[in-house]
Structure 1
Amino acid sequence: MSVYSTLRNALFFLILPTRLVIWWLYFIPKSNRQNPAWSWKTSVSVQAARSFIRHHTAIRYRTPKSLEPGPDGDRFIILNPQNTLSNTDSPVYKGILNSVPDIKPVPTGAVWYPAAPVQPPKKLVIHFHPSAFVILGARPSDDTAHGWGLDHFSELSGWPVLSIQYRLSLDADKTFPAALQDAFTAYAYALGTLKIHPSHIVLAGESAGGNLVLAMLRYILTDNQALPLPRSALLLSPWVDLTDEGMNKTKMHQNARVDYIGYDLGHWGATSYIPPGWEETSPYFTPLGSEYKLSVPLFVHVGTSEVLYDDIMQFARNMKEKGTDVELHEAPNAPHAIFSAGKGLGMEDVAIDGHARATRFIERTGPTSESEVAGLR
C-alpha cells in the first residue's frame, strides 16, 4: 500500500466513528432514509457499506488471499487443477481459458458452508461470491454477516455449499480468464474428485459471481461441449453489463442514491478484469444483449432498489424470450446482493424469502431421486 493509501486509510478509520454517529441520528426520521420503506438499521447499514466500498475503491484495496486455512480450519480446502476428467478425453481448460498465455490454472481455495461434510456429498451448490472482480472473498470473515446467508441457505435447502476463492483481478496476470479457470477447477473437483453427477450440481453466483456463472455456461456450450452442464444456476443480482456505457447508466439510475454500489467500483472492476485490447462487449463479459436459448434453468434474483435492476430485468426477459426456463424474483426494496447480505443490511426477511424461493427452484429442476440420476448415466 502506498503512503497516500496508508494515510487515507488511517483518516477513514479515524473519522468513521463520527460518521456513524451522524448517520445514526440522520436516519432516525423516515423522511431522511434512502428508501422510505427501509428500517433505521438498513439505512445506516447501507450507508456504511457504501462508504466502505467507496473507500476501498479509492485506495484500490487489495483483499488478502491465502491458501492457509486460518480460523476456518477444515472448512477451508485447496482445489488443485485437473487437466482432464476421468470420463472424458477433453481437457478441462481449452479455448478461451487458454487465451492469455501468462494466465495458467493454479491451486484455488474454497470454503464449505455451513461446515465441512463428514462424507463426500452427493449434491452440491458451487458458489461464487460478489466482488466486482476486485474485492471481497469466500471466507466468512470476508462478509460482515460472517457467512450468515450461505449458512442459512444451505441449512434450509439441505444442499451443502462450497464457495470458491477465485482470483481477483488485481494484477496483470489475474485478469480474465483467471477467475474462470478457477471456476472450472472447482467444477472439475465436484465432477472428478467428489464424483457428483452434474444433475446434482448447482452453480450459484452473486453480482460478479453471477457473471462468472454465465461465462461458465457459455464456455461449456461453445468451447468445451465434452463437459456436462449442471442441473441449474442461481443468478443472484448478476452483473450482466461490463461496458463503460453500462457503467455510465448507473450514474443516472433511479436507485443511484439508494444502492451501495455504483460507477466507481464497476469501472475499477471492469477495467481490471477485461484484458487490454479485448472488446468489453464480448458475451464473456457482457451477456446482456447476447442472450440465447439455454437448456440449464435459471433462477434470477434481483432487488428493486438495485442500481443494476434494469439491466438484470432486461437480461432475464431476453433469456426467457429466447426459450430459456427463467424464474425471476424481484426482492422488494432490496439493494444489491441481498441474498447473502440480508443480515448485515437488516433485511433478513427479504433474504430468507429469496433462500426459500431458490430452494423450491432447485427442487423443481433436475432429477429428484438416485434412480432418476442412474437413468441419466
Structure 2
Amino acid sequence: MPILATQPIKAVYALLAVVYELTRFPIWVLLYTFRVGRPHKSWTFSQALRMRIVKSFLAHSSTVRTKTKLSLEPGVEGDRFTIINPQGNWAYKGPLADTSIRPTKIGAVWTPSALQRSQVDDADVVLHFHGGAYVIGAARDADLGFTTRTFVKHSRITHVLAPAYRLSSNAGGRFPAALQDAVSAYMHLTDKLRVPPSRITISGDSAGGNLALALLRYIHDHGKALGLPWPGCVWLWSPWVNVHAALDITSISSSPQYSTDYLGPTFGHWGASTFSEGCDPMDPYLTPLGNAFESKSPIFVQTGRAEVLYDDNVQIAEEFRAKGASVQLVVKEGAPHDIILVAPVIDFVRVAQEAAKEAGEFLRENRLTAKL
C-alpha cells in the first residue's frame, strides 16, 4: 500500500489537498467565466467548473486510495435491497474456479421496486453493474440512483437490479471476484426468479461495462454447458475495455481527450493494479479490447467524444460488429466519461437522458428473442 494511503499521513495529505484546491478555485472561476478558457468550447461555465472539481477530487481520492465499504444491511433502500446467494461450485468454471477467491453472497438493489415472480413475463429487467475502476462505487441510491431512475423513466424498462459486486480495493476483491458476483446475479434472475432471458439486458458503465463484457464472454464460453442463456440485449456505457493499458500510468495523460475528461492516470492505475493482481492483465476476461467474440445478443455502446476512452470504445464496437454482432455506437459530442453515472454531478443530465432513451429504443428494435 502506498505510504500516502496510510494514517496519519493520509489525513495530513487530505487536509493539504483541500487547502491547495481552495487556493486554485478562484483561478478556475475566472478562467471558465470566458468560453475561450474552458477545456471544451461547447461546455457551459457550470460544466467546466464541475469537471475541474471532479477531476481534482478523483485524483486526490486515488492518491490516498479512499475505499468503498460494502454492507449486507438493507439501509435506506429497505425492501428494495436483496441478498443474492452464490450458486454451487458447478456454476463457476474456467477463470472463475479460483482457489483463493470464492463465490460469496452479495447485496443488490432493485429500482423502482423488487421484482415479483408474478411480474416476470411482462418485465423488462436491466442487470446493471456500476463503474468505479473496480475500486470505488456502490449499488446504493446515493451512488447509482440517477442511473437506475433514468433507465426506468427514459429507457422505459420496468426494473433495474444493481449488484454490489466485490471491489478490488477491499481484501479478496481482485479478479475473478466481481465476475463471480456477476454470474451469481445473472443466475438469480434466470434461475431463481425465472425471468425470460429475452427480457434481461446486461448493462454496465465504465468498469461495469468491462464486467458486463466479461459476463457476456462467460456466457459465450460456458453458457451452453451451464445452461446460461444469452440475454436479450447488452448496454455498454463508456466501457473500460483495456485494463492492461491502465497499468502504464502515462497512458491516459497521453490521450488527445485528456484535457476534456475528469479521468486521471492515478485512478485507472489504482484500479488496474489491484484488479489484475496475480493475473495476466491481457487475459480476454480483463482486457476485451482486441479479444472480441461472437455475440448473439445485440450490443449498444455509448461513449463521449470528449472522453479519454473514446478511441477504445469506438474500436470495441467495430470489433464486435466485425464478429457479426448487431452493434449500435452512440457518440455524444462534448461529453466526457460515463455520463450515465455522473451526469448530475457534472451537469450533463439532458445528454444522459437522451442516451438512455436511445438505449431503450435499441433494445425494443433489436431484442434477442430466439431461444438460443
What TM-score do the two structures reach when normalised by structure 2? 0.91
Residue number in structure 2 paired with 1:214 = 213
Residue number in structure 2 paired with 1:293 = 294
One-letter amino acid of the counterpart of residue 109, structure 1: G
The answer to whether structure 1 residue 183 and structure 2 residue 179 are counterparts is: no
TM-superposed deviation, 1:162: 1.0
SS of the residue 1:251 aligns to: coil
Distance, in Å, in 2 between the alignment partners of 1:279 and 1:123 is 36
- Determine which of 271, 274, 293 is the counterpart of 2:273: 271
Residue number in structure 2 paired with 1:61 = 66
Distance, in Å, in 1 between the alignment partners of 2:371 and 2:310 is 37
One-letter amino acid of the counterpart of residue 333, structure 1: G
Distance, in Å, in 2 between the alignment partners of 1:117 and 1:245 is 38
One-letter amino acid of the counterpart of residue 29, structure 2: W
TM-superposed deviation, 1:262: 2.5
One-letter amino acid of the counterpart of residue 194, structure 2: K
Distance, in Å, in 1 between the alignment partners of 2:170 and 2:46 is 37
The answer to whether structure 1 residue 361 and structure 2 residue 362 are counterparts is: yes
Which residues in structure 2 correspond to 1:153-168 (within 5 Å)? 153-156=151-154, 157-168=156-167
Which residues in structure 2 correspond to 1:131-142 (within 5 Å)? 131-142=132-143
Alignment check: 8 A CA contact 1:96 1:219 kept: no
Deviations 1:263-318 (A, max 9, x none): 21111111111132x22111111111112221111000000001011111111112
The answer to whether structure 1 residue 81 and structure 2 residue 86 are counterparts is: yes
Residue number in structure 1 paired with 2:307 = 306
TM-superposed deviation, 1:15: 5.4
Distance, in Å, in 2 between the alignment partners of 1:246 and 1:360 is 36
Alignment check: 8 A CA contact 2:133 2:268 kept: yes
TM-superposed deviation, 1:11: 3.4
TM-superposed deviation, 1:233: 0.3
Residue number in structure 1 paired with 2:3 = none
Residue number in structure 1 paired with 2:196 = 197
Alignment check: 8 A CA contact 1:134 1:168 kept: yes
Distance, in Å, in 2 between the alignment partners of 1:269 and 1:376 is 37
Residue number in structure 2 paired with 1:88 = none
Distance, in Å, in 2 between the alignment partners of 1:281 and 1:112 is 34
Alignment check: 8 A CA contact 2:130 2:205 kept: yes
SS of the residue 2:201 aligns to: strand
One-letter amino acid of the counterpart of residue 185, structure 1: S
SS of the residue 1:2 aligns to: coil
SS of the residue 2:16 aligns to: helix
One-letter amino acid of the counterpart of residue 37, structure 1: S
Distance, in Å, in 1 between the alignment partners of 2:247 and 2:312 is 8
Deviations 1:208-260 (A, max 9, x none): 10110111111111134231111110011001111137854322111111100
Distance, in Å, in 2 between the alignment partners of 1:327 and 1:132 is 24
TM-superposed deviation, 1:349: 1.8
Distance, in Å, in 1 between the alignment partners of 2:187 and 2:323 is 29
Distance, in Å, in 2 between the alignment partners of 1:245 and 1:338 is 20
Which residues in structure 2 correspond to 1:1-377 (within 5 Å)? 2-13=7-18, 19-83=24-88, 91-98=90-97, 100-117=98-115, 120-121=119-120, 122-142=123-143, 147-156=145-154, 157-225=156-224, 226-244=227-245, 247=248, 248-276=250-278, 278-366=279-367, 376=371
Deviations 1:61-95 (A, max 9, x none): 111211112222222221111228xxxxxx32222
Alignment check: 8 A CA contact 1:128 1:210 kept: yes
Alignment check: 8 A CA contact 2:236 2:302 kept: yes
Distance, in Å, in 1 between the alignment partners of 2:137 and 2:367 is 32
Distance, in Å, in 2 between the alignment partners of 1:255 and 1:342 is 18
TM-superposed deviation, 1:167: 0.5
Distance, in Å, in 1 between the alignment partners of 2:82 and 2:15 is 34
Alignment check: 8 A CA contact 2:238 2:304 kept: yes
One-letter amino acid of the counterpart of residue 104, structure 1: R
One-letter amino acid of the counterpart of residue 331, structure 1: K
Distance, in Å, in 1 between the alignment partners of 2:164 and 2:54 is 21
Greater mean alpha carbon deviation, residues 225-234 or residues 116-125: 116-125
Q: What do you get for the CA RMSD once the two structures are aligned?
A: 2.1
SS of the residue 1:250 aligns to: coil
SS of the residue 2:208 aligns to: helix
Distance, in Å, in 1 between the alignment partners of 2:137 and 2:56 is 15
Alignment check: 8 A CA contact 2:247 2:273 kept: no
Between the two proteins, the alignment pairs up a number of residues equal to 360
Greater mean alpha carbon deviation, residues 100-109 or residues 7-16: 7-16
Distance, in Å, in 2 between the alignment partners of 1:116 and 1:223 is 29
TM-superposed deviation, 1:22: 4.1
SS of the residue 1:249 aligns to: coil
